[in-house]
Amino acid sequence: MRTNFDALIVGAGPAGSTAAILLALAGWSVALVEKQSFPRRKVCGECISPSALPLLSALGIEHELTHAAGPNLQRFALMRGPDTVVSDFPQAPDSAYRWSRALGRETLDTLLAEHARELGVQLFQPCSLVGIVGGPGAWRCDVRDLNVFATSTLRARVAIAAHGSWEALPSDPPRRQRRPSDLLAFKANFTGASLEEGLLPVLSFDGGYGGMVVTERDVTTVAGCLRRDKLDVLRRGKLGASAGECFEAMLRQQCAGAGEVLDKASRQGPWIGAGPIYPGIRLSAEDGLFRIGNAAGEAHPIIGEGISMAVQSAWLLCMQLLGEDASPDRLSRGRTWQRLVARRYEREWRRQFVPRIRLACAFAHASMHPRGSALLLALAKRWPGFLPSGSRWAGKIRCAIHPADVARLAQHHFAHVALWPTSIP
């Protein structure tokens, strides 16, 4: 078994697998470490914005993605109490990918990880990261096979953290103590729901928010976040019910639109939950390792940009790692070169994602409170362009990578590293 690599990536979700594929196509040796076995259910809104669809297509999974994903999401709605306001999504400039699509994480993650394996990425799964020491140019990582509980030591020049919201590296500082205001996340799949094709509702209720979307095979995914103290009150009123069941009962009661969609629906399997979520920025050029996806930073999921930000952040990093000056000799210099790459990547990451993280925070907090949500509903009713403008501000139709670069790379199939641009437009 190979133990020395150019890059080691922790987490095989959309961010980690995207980075693994891009690096492998450029000729790098890559180790991809994933704790969970695929396919697996994961708490996620499962919406892929048009800003990320060309990037996923360029990875080589266009056919599978196009045929598996749900219908084009051309309209969205804001639902709160008895009110529902519907608006059109703005169209993305890419004629091939004008609308968002939805795809279950069971399918998307498996598709990407298997494609990475086909390209020569060594996938360590299910394996947990026991420890990581060293630094840029000389990382040493201990991973434990969760099937046989044997530990192996892997070495890599570059280390990339791509783990999810509820995981952390052994070297990361401990998470803060539990708070009543913590947001816990829930998700369930339903069949027989009456959600209109092409409609993406955003749900607003006291102490939380959520969304509904049709994914593959006409399955409707319902996902949302709820404050811990609100959930505690609900559970006291429904003794013996699971947290997810309490969340569903509250959703049906407080949001008439959601209740109508789920009126005759049947839930497939139990509710799954996770959390608390930690929206914010975790990226630092002085970190030593590179961070992508939620390991770099996380927006409130109310804007449905988690998957898209993960994929785009992986591309942003790889465009810097694979610039024209990334020859093997330069890569071997280690720390100095990687710090330069880290500063460039952090600058571009912040430029692309900090505005939407702030917007998502404002939208989420307004949606969770009666006065704030009343203002959002009033704006949506009186200003038809409010919701479409919010979608644009959230970056849903603007890709962080220039379309010309994506097209050129796809055409040449990453035949030579020098095809990568040295700067990001």
Cβ burial of 374 (10 Å; 0-12, 13-18, 19+) is middle
Q: How confident is the model at residue 84 (pLDDT cuts 50, 70, 90)?
A: very high
Please, what is the average pLDDT of the chain?
89
* CA-atom Rg of the chain in angstroms: 21
Instruction: Judge whether 17 and 115 are in contact, CB under 8 Å.
Output: yes
Res 326 pLDDT > 70: no
At 174, the pLDDT band (50, 70, 90 cuts) reads confident
Fold topology of 4-70+98-172+279-368+398-419 = FAD/NAD(P)-binding domain (3.50.50)
Whether residue 89 contacts residue 76, with contact meaning beta carbons closer than 8 Å, is answered with yes
Q: Which two tokens stand for residue 247?
A: 């969340």
Query: How far apart, in whole angstroms, are the C-alpha atoms of residue 399 and residue 307?
Result: 13
**107 neighbors 68 (Cβ within 8 angstroms):** yes
- Give the tens place of pLDDT for each residue, 270-288: 999 998 998 999 998 888 8
Instruction: Report CA dihedral (96, 100, 104, 105) to the nearest 10 degrees.
Output: 90
User: Does position 18 have pLDDT exceeding 60, yes or no?
Assistant: yes
pLDDT digits (tens, 9 = 90+) for 380-397: 999 988 888 888 888 888
Q: Based on the number of CB atoms within 10 Å of its own CB, is 237 exposed (0-12), middle (13-18) or buried (19 or more)?
A: exposed
> Which residues in 261-284 are b (16+ Cβ under 10 Å) and which e?
bbeebebeeebbbebbbbbebebe
Question: Between the CA of residue 56 and those of 22, 65, 224, 246, 353, what are the distances in Å?
Answer: 11, 8, 25, 36, 19
* pLDDT > 70 fraction of the chain, expressed in percent and rounded: 93
The tokens describing 135, both together, are 């630094």
Inform me whether the pLDDT recorded for 423 exceeds 50.
Answer: no
Percent of the chain topping pLDDT 90: 73
pLDDT at 19: 96
What does the pLDDT read at residue 333?
A: 61
pLDDT for the residue numbered 47: 94
Classify the C-alpha dihedral 160-164-170-174 as positive or negative. Answer: positive
pLDDT in tens, 87-119: 999 998 877 899 999 999 999 999 999 999 999
Check pLDDT > 70 for residue 332: no
What span, in angstroms and rounded, lies between the C-alpha atoms of 264 and 321?
51
pLDDT in tens, 189-211: 999 999 999 999 999 999 999 99
- Residue-wise over 31-51: b if at least 16 C-beta within 10 A, else e? bbbbbbebeeebbbbbbbbbb
